[in-house]
Amino acid sequence: MRGSVLSVVLGAALLAAAPARAQLLESWHACVGDGEVGPLQQISGCTGVIEANREIRPHLAVAFFNRGVVYQSQGAVDRAIADYDAAARLDPRLADAFAARGGAYYAKADYAKADADYSQAIRLRPDDPDGWLGRASARAARGDAGGALADYDRAVGLAPPSAHALGQRALAYARQGDLDRALADLDRALAMRPDDAATLSQRAGVLARRGDLDRAMADYDTAIRLRPDLADARSGRAWVWIAKGDMARARADYAEAVRAAPGDARAQFNNAYALAAQGQTNAAIAGYGEAIARDPRDAGALNNRGDALMSRGDLTAALADFDQALAIRPDYGLALGNRGRVRLQLGDHAGAAADFTQVLAADPQDLAARLGRAIAYEAQGAYAEALADADVAVRQAPTSSEAFNNRCWARALAGADLDQALADCDRAVALKADAPEAYDSRGLVRLRRGEFAPAMADYEAALRLRPEMASARFGRGLAELRLGRADDGRSDLAAAASREPKIAANYARYGVTP
C-alpha cells in the first residue's frame, strides 16, 4: 500500500476519542506492519481495525487489503480473496485490491478472473507496470501469447524503464523461440542491474539455447558467485555441463540445487534425471518421488519414475506411474509409449496395442511404437496386422536390425513366406551381429523349414550372447529332439520352462511343439 494512504489512515485514527484512539492507533500500527510485527500480529491488528468499525469506507478497505496480503503470504489464498473482495466493495478505486486479487486468482490457476482483476487495476492505475505484468502472466497462462506480449510491451514502455519488466518480456520472447529479442531485453536489464543473479541466470539460459555454451557458462558462474543458493543457476549450469559431456559436474550442480531449494520440485526432478543418467536407478526413483511429493501433477516426473521402475523390473509400480501421468496428460506420447512397453511385458497385449496406436496417431514416424504394436499384434495372433506394421518399420528404418528382425519374426510365427523371412533375418544379423533376438528368430524360421542343424547353430549363437534367453533354449531343445539328441533336447526344454513357465504353450500356439 502507498505511503500517502498510510499517513491518512493513521491521521484519522488520531482524531478518535482518547481511549479508543489509543487502541485504534495500536491496531493500525500492527495492521500496516509498523516495526517488528509478525504476520499473526499484523492480522490481529487489521482485524482490530475492522471490528472497531470506526473508519470511513476507504480506510476500512485498506485494513481488509492489508489483512488479505498477509493471508496470501501465509498460503491462505481463499481467505485473502475474501478480504480483497471486501476491500474492493468498500473502495472500488483501490487498484491495489484488484491487483492483489488478480495475483491470488493466478495462484489458484483461475486465469480468466486474474485477467479481469488485472484489467481493472490497469484502468485505475495505468502507469503501474505491475498491473501490466500481472495481466501479461495471466494471458500467457491462458494461451494468449500475443496479448501477453502486448502487455509486456506496455510495461517496458513506462518510465522509468524497469529491469523487471524487461526480464519478464524476455521470458515471453524465449517461450516463443525469439531468442535474439529475449537476449536483447536481458542485456538491457543487466545494463541497469549488472549484479542481478537471477537475470544473469536467465540470460545464461537463453545463451545455452542459442548454442553459446561458453558464454552461458560464464553467466551461470557469475550468478552462482553472487548467489550460491540460486537453484535455477545451479540447474542451468548442470545442463551446460551435460551438453559439454561432463555428467559428474552436472550431477554435482544438481545436488547443490536440491540443497539450495529442497522444496523446489524442478530441482528434485533434475537431480533425479542426472542420477538416472549415471545408472543410479534406485536413487533416481527416490529423487523423482521427492519431485512428485512437491508437485503431484508433474506428469514428466511420474513418467520418468515409471521408466526407472520398469528398468528395475518393478512393472506393476511402473504401470501405476504411467497411468497417473496419463490421467494428468492424456496425450503424453512418452508415457503412452512406456505404458505400451510395460503392458507388453505384463501380457496385456490388447492394451499395449491400443497405447501404441495412440502414439502412432500423433506421430506415424515413431519407430519404437510401430515395432511395439507389431509385437503386440503378434502376441494376439494378428499376424497380418503385425506384418503390415513390420513392413512400414523396414521402409522407415532400412538400416535397423530390429525392424528386419521384427518382420522376420512375424513371418516365422505365421509360418508363411519362409524364404522372405529367412532373408529378413539374414539382413538383421548382417546389420547387427551381436543381436541375440535375430539369431533366435532365424532359428525358428529354420526349424519351420526343416533345417534342424542350422537352426541349432542359430540358437547356440543366441545363447552365447544371452545365456538366459528362454526362447533360444526352448528352440535349441526342439532342434536337438529333431536331430535325435533326446536327452539334450529334454534338458533344454526343461531349462526353458523353469525360466519361462508358459513357453511351451506359447510355441504350441505358433504351431511348434516337441
pTM value > 0.85: no
Residue 190 near residue 166 (C-beta atoms within 8 A):
no
Let me know: does 401 contact 392? Beta carbons within 8 Å.
no
Name the one residue in this structure whose C-alpha cell is 526407472: 308
- Helical (H) or strand (E) element with 407: helix 401-414
Q: Give residue 8's pLDDT.
A: 45
**How many other CB atoms are there within 10 angstroms of residue 464's CB atom?**
12
Which three cell numbers mark 338?
A: 512406456
CB 458 within 8 A of CB 440: yes
Q: What pLDDT band is residue 7 in, cutting at 50, 70 and 90?
A: very low
DSSP state of 365: T
**Cell (9 digits) for 81:** 480473496
Between CA 97 and CA 81 the distance in angstroms is 9
Q: 212, 147, 155, 138: which is closest to 176 by C-alpha?
A: 147
Q: Work out the burial of residue 41: count CB atoms within 10 Å of its CB; fewer than 13 is exposed, 13-18 middle, 19 or more buried.
A: middle
Closest CA to 248 of 274, 212, 287: 274
Mean pLDDT on 342-362: 97
Average pLDDT over residues 504-514: 92
Q: Is the pLDDT of residue 5 over 50?
A: no
Spatial neighbors of 268 by CB under 8 A, at least 6 apart, are 258, 262, 287, 288, 290, 291, 294
DSSP label at residue 178:
-
Domain layout of the chain by residue ranges: 399-514
The helix/strand count (H/E) of the chain reads as 30, 0
- pLDDT above 90: residue 396: yes
Residue 35: DSSP 8-state: S
pLDDT averaged over every residue in the chain: 94
Q: What was the pLDDT predicted at 18?
A: 54
Nearest by Cα to 346 from 370, 371, 326, 317: 317
For 235-273, the pLDDT digits (tens) are 999 999 999 999 999 999 999 999 999 999 999 999 999
452-507 pLDDT, tens per residue?
Answer: 999 999 999 999 999 999 999 999 999 999 999 999 999 999 999 999 999 999 99
CB 29 within 8 A of CB 20: no
Other C-beta atoms lying within 10 Å of the C-beta of residue 439: 27
The rounded distance, in Å, linking the Cα atoms of 469 and 126 is 72
The band of 9, judged by pLDDT with boundaries at 50, 70 and 90, is: low
- Phi and psi at residue 29, to the nearest 5°: -60, -40
- Architecture (CATH level 2) of domain 399-514: Alpha Horseshoe (1.25)
Instruction: Assign 3-class secondary structure to 287-307.
Output: HHHHHHHHCCCCHHHHHHHHH
> Is 301:265 a contact under the CB 8 Å cutoff?
yes
What contacts 471, CB < 8 A, 6 or more positions away?
440, 496, 500, 503
Rounded to the nearest 10 degrees, what angle do helices 315-328 and 299-312 cross at? 160
DSSP 91: -
| Distances, alpha carbon 442 to alpha carbons 45, 414, 439, in Å | 83, 14, 5
Rg (CA), the chain: 33
Going by C-beta distance under 8 Å and a sequence separation of 6 or more, which residues neighbour residue 287? Answer: 268, 269, 271, 272, 275
List pLDDT tens digits, range 407-449. Answer: 999 999 998 899 999 999 999 999 999 999 999 999 999 999 9
How much is the average pLDDT of 168-192?
A: 97
Encode pLDDT of 24-63 as tens digits.
899 999 999 877 889 999 999 999 999 999 999 999 999 9
Which residue pairs, CB below 8 angstroms and at least 24 apart, start in 344-353?
A: 344/372, 344/375, 344/376, 344/379, 345/310, 345/315, 346/315, 346/316, 346/319, 347/379, 349/376, 349/377, 349/379, 349/380, 350/376, 350/380, 352/376, 353/377, 353/380
Contacts of 422 (CB under 8 A, 6+ apart): 408, 442, 445, 446, 449
* Reported confidence tier of residue 161, pLDDT bands at 50, 70, 90: confident
Neighbouring C-alpha atoms within 13 Å toward the C-beta of 79: 13
C-alpha span between 433 and 430 (Å, rounded): 6
As a whole number of angstroms, the distance between CA 178 and CA 149 comes to 12
Q: Are 450 and 463 in contact (CB under 8 A)?
A: no
Give residue 209's identity as a one-letter amino acid code: R
* Integer CA distances (angstroms), 432 to 195, 427, 438, 465, in order: 55, 9, 8, 12
